[in-house]
Amino acid sequence: MTTVVWFKRDLRVTDHPALAHAATRGDVLPLYVFEPEYWAQPDVSGRQFDFVLETVVELRAALEALGVPLMVRVGSVVDVLQDLQARVGFDAMLSHEETGNAWTYARDVDVAAWSAASGVIWSELAQSGVVRRLNGRDGWAKQRNAFLRQPQVGVPAGLTGPALPSDNVPLLVAKDHCPERQRGGRQMALSLLGSFLTERGQSYRKDMSSPVTGEWSCSRLSPYLAFGCLSGREASQAAAVRQREVKGTREGWGGSLKSFQARLAWRDHFMQKLEDEPALERRCLHSAYEDMRPKVPDAARRAAWEKGETGLPFVDACMRYLAATGWMNFRMRSMLMAVASYHLWLDWRVTGLHLARQFTDFEPGIHWPQSQMQSGTTGMNTVRIYNPVKQGKDQDPTGVFTRRWCPELAAVPDAFLQEPWAWEGADTVLGRTYPAPVVDVLQAARDAREKVWAVRRGGAFREEAKRVVHKHASRKDPQGHFVDDRNPRKSRVPAAKDTRQMGFEF
């Protein structure tokens, strides 16, 4: 009998448990389905479609080299499976567990119902540190770390199976202009991993937070991890090998690789939140915040933020950079969401959708928990209101980044670049070639802080916050490692702390 391997966000043949297991059962039919209904969802974009298309082309070649090409179909997965069963009569299907958006969750429910009714055994295998059906976070890190330490799954020596014709893939989502988008495919992923671990990553810890230095020093692996060109286990184990190679040296590698491993762990940690509570894509994690901001955001502020025309130079530079590249380092992602949520007082569900479309590396499990965290709606995280003027001065001290993306500010002296309204010649630029700021930065932050903290008062807030902490909060020991908090490890020597905000500057 033939086993269908349904590829989703796992577009590779290396360290692919589902493919390897299917190969032991006999004939294999590798399948990828471009779903028009998925590509009509509000959180997807042309840059993501192009990246996936390029990756699928590479995957098809890799599978063909093993003996059976990838079959690509266009349509609903249930319809495609129904057609394939009539053609080849398969009775088993393997795929990896996916922590996707609400639409893919509902799609998988439909596929499970079809499989049960059709006599097809559909098995979903783990491919990351995300654990299904957890009751709480105690013990999660132990399971996650055990999975990461397991040997990688080898590529099958060869595949046999039916070779069925593929569909031509039409353009399923409108093109968007992203001239500096990262190109899809595993070969690019391996190239970036190699250059990061041997060259670019040496100053990662020091340089990750600035958009000026982060573009080079971050791994840039995020889209390849998001769509499975590279498994998280491959990235973690490759970094571990490098950590052993540089052990004892004092060239910066030790701290940088430790920070990179921490980001891989935080990646799984945030994806676990959406896995445990899919509804957090649509509602505030703590219900007290549900009506704090208007559901219909201020149209003018929203448009200014999306276009990079807020009159806040560093914010505008970051938004324009993101639109052109499809990528942003973590600190700037946080700042963009925080400014939208606090200073502009826009609902995270609306701004989150815009950023989701802008990110080539859109990963629902990271994006939505982070959107809520940076908007102060979780009930368990510190309220972080970034000052965009200070961030500009700290992260772009020479102004090279801001000037590149906001050329209208060419006449503004360096000392006033991040706050041109304070320059005596402001009226020659603001409202003419560059917009005046849409808000008073300091006053808007004060107003937002008062509104957020007003919600946090009262016993009812604290009771629900306890539930959120039990279900979603990280457990850490004194060294910052994830642990089972019922049995924390003790440290005799306090470890050096990486004081940066935990994030995902891959």
pLDDT at 384: 85
Measured distance CA(346)–CA(386) in Å, rounded: 15
Q: What residues does 124 pair with on adjacent strands? A: 95
All domains of the chain in start order, with CATH: 2-126 (3.40.50.620), 186-276 (1.25.40.80), 287-453 (1.10.579.10)
Strand order in the sheet with 3-6: 71-74, 28-34, 3-6, 92-96, 121-125
3-state secondary structure of 22: helix
pLDDT in tens, 349-370: 999 999 999 999 999 999 999 9
pLDDT at 137: 81
Known binding-site residue numbers for FAD? 204, 260
> 41, exposed or middle or buried, with CB in 10 Å at 0-12, 13-18, 19+?
middle
Tokens of 442: 């300091």
pLDDT at 503: 44
- Read off the amino acid at residue 3: T
pLDDT at 382: 76
Known binding-site residue numbers? 204, 260
Measured distance CA(214)–CA(325) in Å, rounded: 13
Measured distance CA(137)–CA(457) in Å, rounded: 26
The string of DSSP letters for 354-414 reads HHHHH-TT--HHHHHHHHHHHHT-SSSSPP----HHHHHHHH-TT-HHHHHH-GGGTTS-G
pLDDT at 134: 85
C-alpha atoms less than 13 angstroms from C-alpha of 414 in its C-beta half-sphere? 7
Of residues 234, 72, 87, the one with CA closest to residue 167: 72
Of residues 330, 319, 405, 328, the one with CA closest to residue 360: 328
Measured distance CA(356)–CA(281) in Å, rounded: 12
Strand-pair category, 28-34 with 121-125:
unpaired
CA distances to 91, 102, 316 from 99, in Å: 25, 9, 32
3-state secondary structure 113-169: HHHHHHCCEEEEECCCCCCCCCCCCCCHHHHHHHHHHCCCCCCCCCCCCCCCCCCCC
Could you tell me how many helices (H) and strands (E) the chain has, helices first? 20, 5
Whether the Cβ atoms of residue 232 and residue 225 lie closer than 8 Å to each other: yes
From the centroid of its chain, how far is CA 321? 17
In tens digits, the chain (506 residues) has pLDDT values of: 899 999 999 999 999 999 999 999 999 999 999 999 999 999 999 999 999 999 999 999 999 999 999 999 999 999 999 999 999 999 999 999 999 999 999 999 999 999 999 999 999 999 999 999 887 788 888 999 999 999 999 999 999 999 899 999 999 999 999 999 999 999 999 999 999 999 999 999 999 999 999 999 999 999 999 999 999 999 999 999 999 999 989 888 999 999 999 999 999 999 999 999 999 999 999 998 999 999 899 999 999 999 999 999 999 999 999 999 999 999 999 999 999 999 999 999 999 999 999 999 999 999 999 999 999 998 877 788 999 999 999 999 999 999 999 999 999 999 999 999 999 999 999 999 999 999 999 999 999 999 988 888 766 777 788 878 777 776 665 555 554 333 444 444 444 444 333 444 44
pLDDT at 59: 98
